[in-house]
């Protein structure tokens, strides 16, 4: 049985991953941390500690206190906010990861760290293989590529059991994303149910990889539990579920809510980031090395999103 510490545990992924892993490993075996304590069912449900990931000493103390053997390191600034605050992004995304890896080296912990479709840039093939050119133009991308390399280094050099995936844009109804380029694909569902219309900041025809959160949670769990002898890669596995442009998600919503309408007011900063990212990731390595396969496509995700979001929004009225 693992004892897991999650950083950034009250963010979009952390909120749902904490609950998922507490069900899998037991509530007291999943210690959720975040830089601030917020009102959240996750805080009430089990162990919670405040942790700034750039504070390696405090992380080491928590690891000792709770007998942690695995760190799921989710704390990071997302692409749009990182572009607005590049110095903070460097500190949180890269120094934070370095602190986690150092504590893992000293205490022989396993570490899971997500990378992103943001680890690619203009010179990457648009249909993106596992191993390819990575010259991102954003600070987010710079920290993600460096993070992938650091995790590989700590495995090869110090034997730290590092693993990770490249997440597409994640779509969920429990917690909102904050400051990403793919956030529109979550906001659109809220707008469809609240007002029946949405002004999209990303231009028509812009393809990006996306994934529904249940698939993303399962990916983390399956890779954490994967047989290490089968892993040729360790970190930064491409994983894919669906690739769509704004007009495709709008059409999928219209199938459920026929009166929904969408217009465009393109945000140039977000658009430049989106244009530099892949259209579609190839995930053959993840399929071959640990059996990865997504379950949700755009249609099944849209049905499930609307079904689950509707009662939540009704409660908050």
Binding site for ligand AKB (CB under 6 A): 78-79, 116-118, 167, 169, 177, 180-182
Instruction: For the CB of residue 227, give the shortest distance to ligand AKB in the complex, in Å.
Output: 27
The H-or-E segment that residue 72 falls in is: strand 70-73
Using the minimum distance from each CB to ligand AKB, give the nearer residue, 117 or 217. 117
Closest CA to 213 of 140, 278, 296: 296
Query: What CA dihedral angle connects 191, 197, 203 and 208, to 10 degrees?
Result: 40
Strand 165-167's sheet: what is its strand order? Answer: 115-116, 165-167, 237-238
Q: Scanning the structure block, which residue is given the tokens 């007291």?
A: 28
Quote the CA–CA distance of 132 and 140 in Å, as a whole number.
18
Instruction: For the CB of residue 78, give the shortest distance to ligand AKB in the complex, in Å.
Output: 4
Quote the CA–CA distance of 156 and 111 in Å, as a whole number.
14
Catalytic residue (choose from 20, 25, 66, 140) = 140
Instruction: For the CB of residue 69, give the shortest distance to ligand AKB in the complex, in Å.
Output: 27
Closest CA to 12 of 185, 246, 161, 141: 185
Using the minimum distance from each CB to ligand AKB, give the nearer residue, 46 or 179. 179
The residue of the chain with the least Cβ separation from ligand AKB equals: 180
In sequence order, the β-bridge partners of residue 110 are: 70
Cα atoms in the 13 Å half-sphere on the side-chain side of 28: 3
Quote the CA–CA distance of 288 and 284 in Å, as a whole number.
6
Using the minimum distance from each CB to ligand AKB, give the nearer residue, 56 or 168. 168
Instruction: For the CB of residue 119, give the shortest distance to ligand AKB in the complex, in Å.
Output: 9
Alpha helices in 85-212 (DSSP H): 86-89, 96-107, 139-158, 184-194
Using the minimum distance from each CB to ligand AKB, give the nearer residue, 48 or 167. 167
Instruction: For the CB of residue 139, give the shortest distance to ligand AKB in the complex, in Å.
Output: 11
140 is an active site residue: yes
Using the minimum distance from each CB to ligand AKB, give the nearer residue, 56 or 246. 246
Catalytic positions = 140
């Amino acid at each position: 049985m693992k004892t897991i510490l999650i950083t950034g545990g009250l963010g979009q992924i952390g909120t749902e991953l904490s609950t998922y892993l507490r069900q899998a490993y037991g509530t007291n075996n999943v210690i959720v941390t975040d830089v601030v304590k917020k009102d959240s069912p996750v805080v009430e449900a089990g162990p919670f500690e405040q942790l700034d990931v750039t504070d390696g000493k405090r992380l080491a103390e928590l690891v000792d206190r709770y007998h942690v053997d695995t760190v799921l390191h989710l704390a990071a600034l997302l692409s749009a906010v990182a572009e607005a605050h590049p110095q903070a992004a460097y500190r949180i995304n890269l120094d934070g990861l370095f602190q986690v890896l150092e504590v893992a080296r000293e205490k022989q912990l396993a570490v899971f760290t997500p990378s992103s479709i943001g680890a690619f840039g203009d010179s990457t093939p648009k249909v993106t293989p596992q191993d390819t050119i990575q010259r991102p133009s954003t600070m987010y991308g710079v920290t993600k590529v460096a993070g992938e390399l650091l995790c590989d280094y700590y495995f090869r050099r110090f034997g730290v059991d590092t693993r990770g995936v490249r997440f597409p844009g994640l779509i969920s109804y429990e917690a909102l994303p904050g400051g990403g380029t793919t956030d529109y694909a979550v906001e659109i569902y809220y707008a469809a149910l609240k007002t029946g219309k949405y002004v999209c900041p990303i231009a028509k025809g812009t393809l990006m990889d996306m994934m529904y959160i249940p698939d993303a949670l399962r990916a983390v769990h399956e890779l954490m539990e994967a047989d290490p002898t089968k892993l040729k890669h360790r970190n930064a596995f491409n994983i894919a579920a669906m690739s769509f442009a704004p007009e495709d998600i709008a059409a999928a919503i219209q199938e459920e809510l026929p009166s929904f309408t969408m217009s465009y007011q393109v945000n140039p900063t977000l658009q430049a980031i989106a244009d530099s990212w892949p259209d579609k990731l190839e995930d053959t390595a993840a399929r071959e090395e640990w059996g990865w396969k997504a379950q949700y496509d755009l249609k099944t995700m849209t049905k499930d999103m609307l079904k689950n979001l509707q009662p939540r929004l009704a409660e908050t009225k």
